[in-house]
Amino acid sequence: MTTIFGVPIQALLGQLLLGLINGSFYAMLSLGLAVIFGLLRVINFAHGAQYMLGAFVAWLLLEHLGIGYWWALLVAPLVVGAASLVVERAALSKLYDLDPLYGLLFTFGLALTIEGAFRWQFGAAGQPYATPDELVGAKNLGFMVLPIYRGFVVVASVVICLAVWLLIERTKFGAYLRAATEDRTLVQVFGVNVPRLLTLTYALGAGLAGLAGVLAAPIYQVSPLMGSNLIIIVFAVVVVGGMGSIGGAILTGYALGVLEGLTKVFYPPASSIVIFVVMAAVLLVRPAGLFGREG
Amino acid sequence: MLDLGAHDPVPMAAVAPAGPALLDVAGLHAWYGESHVLHGVDLNVRQGETVCLLGRNGAGKTTTLRSILGVVGRRDGRVSFDGRDLTRMPLHGPARAGLAYVPENRGIFAGLTVAENLMLPPKVAEGGMSVEEIHALFPNLKERRLSPGTKLSGGEQQMLAIARVLRTGPKMILLDEPTEGLAPVIVQRIAAALIQLKARGLTVLLVEQNFRFARRVADRFYVMEGGVVVDAFRSDEVEGRLDRLHELLGV
């Protein structure tokens, strides 16, 4: 059997791929966090809850209305985005002029409330969500048997991240967003309705989390705590990539997912902490993050 | 003969143009936090005029422009533009009413290319300059259109800041210190561009420290000190006031 550093190449490639799947979620979630932070200067602690909501909306659509996965991919992000839009208008937007800590505390409280409500309603145990028929099965890649759905998730996340990146870097909306990230007041003095831009951006980031939640539903169980388990890692990813850096958040998400996978091969006990070790090291050497602007 | 104590009202009738003003500011007060910066500014600008605010650093010129737009902590007084009350508008209101702003620091966005900076402010009316016309007025902007905005020289950034609002079709431009920190040859080019824009009928309220530049482009002047207007005169009255201006401006 072929080995690299004493590790069978099959195991290595397998973990690489699993790391890439985790990294897909890290990338999508840290992208939304970075977009929201860049413009609103709010550290959105509700991001994990919005991800969980996306998965639950998909599950509820299927359980109660018989609406399947493909429609859920469209409907769930819209539901989560719309709910977040209301939250931003009604509450979060009132906190922008205060210390950023208030926004953080508010979203943290919101996350606890949403997760608490779902635990009370649905219990802490996970609900299974069936893989869509079209994506059931597995493909033998030679070095591992890859469930088709997981391959789909990796491709879908790359497409989603690329689409968001293009939206921000190549469209008029994105130009407003980037300019307002630098100087919100001036952009509004130019005649752009910046409060509305902030609302849409928050809804976009939250909708993205909801979409990631739908993609996650068939892989992980749909449970009220699925978001809070993941969000701490995602915060570490954003810190490593640099708060507010869009491309940095995406690349760091995939890279740290893969790094985590590799750690599982070479030194499994460290795999659950490796991302945090990297975060600590990056904070010491480059506090603004790998892709963040210094100062 | 005018007697100009620092806080005396200026006899506007002597210099104010006939006919309705496009921009009319009366009794404008402004505060940054607890600090009271403007103490009742009165000024007006008629359609097609270029009016210049003179005054030393800290006299309240930039604050006056910012207060007209609403970019201050608190303001009080009357600001009417094209018959509309700007004090009742949200921050994005004045631009949509046709009042454009070129800030003192130029406000070029580092994360946007020159072309993106140019296209950023939304069009507010027909009749703005086309990108071709802008490139004809400021050829450098065409050559550098794919560079990041802040990689331009100071002069080019100023041209971009002016060009950016011309595209939107404004009725009037608030222009804050366009020559600050620029080489004389660039100042000449900016002056030439302003004279060209004036010929097209654009209305401008200019803040300027460079009196020689201001003399070339302005029809009327206001002098500010301590947060109020202390003098007002037409450009043909400048000669008779040079001594007094030197004293007021420290030039």
Do B203 and B48 meet the contact criterion of CB atoms below 8 Å apart? yes
**Does the pLDDT value for residue B1 go beyond 50?**
no
- C-beta neighbour count of B140 within 10 angstroms: 16
User: Is the distance from CB of A191 to CB of B124 less than 8 angstroms?
Assistant: yes
Q: What would the DSSP string read from start to end of A143-188?
A: S-EEEHHHHHHHHHHHHHHHHHHHHHHHSHHHHHHHHHHH-HHHHH
Radius of gyration of the CA atoms of chain A, in A: 19
pTM value > 0.80: yes
Torsion of CA B187, B50, B159, B209, to 10 degrees: 50
Interface residue B169 vs chain A (CB under 8 A): no
Could you tell me which chain A residue has the CA closest to the CA of B95? Answer: A191
Q: Of A65, A191, A219, A61, nearest to A130 (Cα)?
A: A219
Q: Please tell me the predicted confidence (pLDDT) of residue B9.
A: 46
User: Is any Cβ of chain B less than 8 angstroms from the Cβ of A192?
Assistant: yes
- Please tell me which of the candidates B69, B92, B111 has its beta carbon nearest to residue A182: B111
What is the band of B10 on the pLDDT scale with cuts at 50, 70, 90?
A: very low
How many Å apart are CA B25 and CA B8, to the nearest integer? 17
- Check if A175 contacts B (Cβ < 8 Å): yes
Among the partner-chain residues B69, B111, B119, the one whose CB lies closest to the CB of A189 is: B69
Contact B92, A194 (CB under 8 A): yes
In this prediction, residue A16 has a pLDDT band, given cuts at 50, 70 and 90, of confident
**Phi, psi values for residue A274, rounded to 5°:** -60, -35
Output phi, psi for B199, to 5 deg. Answer: -60, -25
pLDDT 10s digits, A79-125: 999 999 999 999 999 898 888 899 999 999 999 999 999 999 998 88
Q: What is the structure's pLDDT at A78?
A: 98
Burial A79-110 (b: 16+ CB within 10 A, else e): bbbebbbebbbeebbebbeeeeeebeebbeeb
B40 — alpha (psi -120 to 50), left (phi > 0) or beta?
A: left
Neighboring chain B residues of A184 at a CB cutoff of 8 Å: none
d(CA B25, CA B172): 14
In this predicted complex, what is the ipTM? 0.88
